[in-house]
Amino acid sequence: MKKIILGALVLSTTLTFAQKKNTTNAAMSYQDAQKSGNAGKFENAANDLLEAKKYIDLAAAHEDTKTDPKTLMYKGKIYLEVGVIGVIAKNETVMAMDIEKLAEEGIASLKSVKANDKKDRYGDDVIEYCSKLRSQGYNSGVQNFQEKKYEEAMGGFSMSSTFSEVLGNVDSAAYFYAGLAAVNIEKWEVVEESFVKCIEIGFKTGSSVFYLTQAYEKLDKQAEAEAMLKEQVVKNPGNKDIMVSLINIYLGQDKKVEAEKVLTDAIALDPESRDLNYAVATVYENLERYDDAEKAYKKVIEIDPEYSHALLGLGAVYFNKAADLNGKINDLQPGDPQEEVFRASMKENFTNSLPYLEKANELTPNNKEILTSLKQVYYKLGNIAKFKEIKAQLEAL
C-alpha cells in the first residue's frame, strides 16, 4: 500500500515539475523577446513571444500551476506584449488573434498575482512592471493630448488608469483626461465609461457630470441622464453646474415646468449669476411667458451689458410679442377698433427690439441669427434701406 502511495506521489511531483518547466521555458522565451525588441528586431521578438505564449498556456492550463504566481506574472506580461510587438512586426499569426482579449486576460492575470503570491516573491516585479507602463501611458496621453492626437491620448490615459488599478490605485486624472480626449473624437461610449468612474470617485464632479450628460444625450440615454442628474443634485447641494445640466435635460425633453423649478432653486443660491438668469429667461421664452422672459433678460443685461446672447434674446422676446399681435390682427374682423391698438403695440415692440439687436450685431458681427432678426425688424418698421443692407450682408455670408 505504501509503495502505491509513494509511486503516486512521485508521479504527481514529476508532472508538477514538468508544468513548472513550461513556466521557466516561457520566461526564457520572454527574456529573448525583450533582447530582440531592444535591438529593434521586432519580428524575432514577436516569434519569441509566440513561443513564450505556447509554454505559458500549457502551464496556465494545468491544475498544479495555473494559480502559481510566477505563471500568472509571466502570462500577464506575455499576453500584453505579444499583441503590441506582433502588430509592430505585422506578424500574421498575431494579427489573426483577438489582441484586445489577450490584453484583458493579461491584465487580469497580473491582478491575480498578489492574491496567489503568499510569500510575496513577485510583488516587486509586478509593481515595477505596472508602474513603468502606467507612467508611459500617462506621459503618452499628455503629449498626444497637447498635440491634439486625441485617439492616441485616449489610449495613453486609459493605459495609465488600467495599470493603476492593477497596482491597487485609482488614477483620477487619467480617467478624466481619457474621457476628455474621447469627447474630442466623439467616442461616446468611452466618454460614458470614463466620467461614470470620475463621478464614482468624486473627481471634478461638476465637469464630470456635464460630460457624462453629454454622452448620455449622444447615446440617446435620456432616462439615464435624468436619473443620474437628479441623484447628483441631491448628493451635491448647491452645485450650480449640475443644476444647469439637469435644467438642460428637462428643456431637451420639453419638461419646462420641472426646468423652471430647478432654475428657481439655482437662482436662489446665486441671484447675480449671469448664466442662471439667462437660463431662466430662455425657459420663460420657451414657455411663451414673454413678460417674465423680458424681466429675466433685462436682469442678465444688467449683470453683463455686453452679453450678446441676452441682447438677442431680449430682442427676440419683443419680436415674438409683435408677431403674436400680428396674429391677433389677422384674426380680427374688418373694421374692428382693436386693430389700431394692436398695430400700435406691435410697432412699439418691433421698435423696442431694435436697439438690442443692433447692439448684439455690434458685439457679434456676421452672426446669421442676429442679422436675420435685424432684417425682419427693419422690414416691419419700413426701413427698406437698412433691410436691403442687411439682406446683402446675409447673402455675402
Asked, for residue 339, whether it belongs to a domain, the answer is yes
Asked, for residue 227, whether it belongs to a domain, the answer is no
Whole-model pTM: value is 0.67
Residue ranges in 167-255 assigned as alpha helix (H): 172-184, 188-201, 205-218, 222-235, 240-252
Is 134's pLDDT higher than 70?
A: yes
37 and 105 fall within a common domain: yes
| Residue 64 pLDDT level (bands cut at 50, 70, 90) | confident
CA distances from residue 227 to 202, 214, 234, 241, 287 in whole angstroms, order as listed: 17, 14, 11, 16, 24
Among candidate residues 87, 108, 106, the one with its CA nearest the CA of residue 96: 87
Residue 294: count of CB within 10 angstroms of its CB: 19
Which amino acid would we find at residue 301?
I
114 and 127 fall within a common domain: no
Tell me the backbone φ, ψ of residue 79, rounded to 5 degrees. Answer: -65, -35
Kindly state the cell numbers that stand for 359: 447692439
210 and 278 fall within a common domain: no
Tell me the backbone φ, ψ of residue 148, rounded to 5 degrees. Answer: 60, 30
The pLDDT value given to residue 16: 45
Asked, for residue 252, whether it belongs to a domain, the answer is no
Q: How is 11-40 classified by DSSP, letter by letter?
A: HHHHHHHHHHHHHHHHHHHHHHHHHHHHTT
Cα–Cα distance for residue pair 363/367, rounded to 1 Å: 10
78 and 146 fall within a common domain: no
Asked, for residue 36, whether it belongs to a domain, the answer is yes
Domain that holds residue 145: 123-220
Among candidate residues 302, 251, 260, 253, the one with its CA nearest the CA of residue 280: 260
The pLDDT value given to residue 6: 36
Is 224's pLDDT higher than 80?
A: yes
pLDDT tens digits, one per residue of 89-99:
899 998 999 98
CB-side neighbour CA atoms (13 Å) of 169: 14
Q: Which of 69, 97, 121 is the last residue of a domain?
A: 121
Asked, for residue 235, whether it belongs to a domain, the answer is no
According to DSSP, residue 237 is labeled T
Tally the domains of the chain.
3
Kindly state the cell numbers that stand for 331: 384674426
Measured torsion, CA atoms of residues 50, 51, 56, 57, in degrees rounded to the nearest 10 = 60
pLDDT tens digits, one per residue of 20-40:
789 999 999 999 999 998 999
Asked, for residue 259, whether it belongs to a domain, the answer is no
The pLDDT value given to residue 34: 92
Contact 161, 174 (CB under 8 A): yes
pLDDT tens digits, one per residue of 276-307:
888 888 888 878 889 999 999 999 999 999 99
139 and 190 fall within a common domain: yes
277 and 397 fall within a common domain: yes
Asked, for residue 254, whether it belongs to a domain, the answer is no
Contact 387, 375 (CB under 8 A): yes
| Residue 241 pLDDT level (bands cut at 50, 70, 90) | confident
The pLDDT value given to residue 180: 96
132 and 117 fall within a common domain: no
